[in-house]
Structure 1
Amino acid sequence: MNRPRYVLLTITFLCILTFATVAAASNDYGILETNITLNVMTDKLEYILRDDVTVNGTVMNNSSPMSNMLVAIEIIGPIGFKLAYRTATIGNPDEVWPLKIEEIFIKDLDYNPINTVKIGNLVFFGATVRNKEIFSISNIYITLTVCDASGIIIDAFQLYEGSINANTSISAARTVYIPTWATPGIAKVYCNVYDREPKDIGIPWLPEVIGEYQISRTDQGMFNGGIPLSNGTSHPPGIYEASLKLSPQPYPGTYQVYAVGGYSPTIRPWNTTTFNVLDTESPPQASFTYSPLEPYPNQTVTFDGSSSSAEGYGDVIIRYEWDFGDGSPPVIKTGNATHPPDPTATHMYSTWGDFVVTLNVTDTEGYWSTTSKPISVKSPYPTANFTWSPQKGFINGTMTFNASNSLLGWDVSKQEPAPIINYTWDFGDGNVTTTANPVITHVYTNPGNYTVMLTIKDSVNQTDSISYVIEIQNKTSPPWDVNNDGKCDIRDIAFVAAHYGELEG
Structure 2
Amino acid sequence: MYQWFLNGSPVTGANSDSWVFSPPAPGVYSVYLNVTDDVAEEEMSNVAYVTVNPQLDVSITPTTVTMQTSESQLFTSTVSGGTPPYSYQWYLNESTVSAATASNWTFTPTSPGYYQIYVAVTDNVGGSDTSNTASVTVQGKPEADFTWYPYSPTVDEEVTFDASASTPNGGTIISYAWDFGDNQTGTGEILTHSYHSTGTYTITLNVTDSEGIWDTQSKSITVATTPPPPPPLAVGGEMVFVKTDKTVV
TM-score by length of 2: 0.38
Q: Give the number of the structure whose alpha-carbon radius of gyration is greater.
A: 2
Question: Is the helix fraction higher in 1 or 2?
Answer: 1
TM-score by length of 1: 0.20
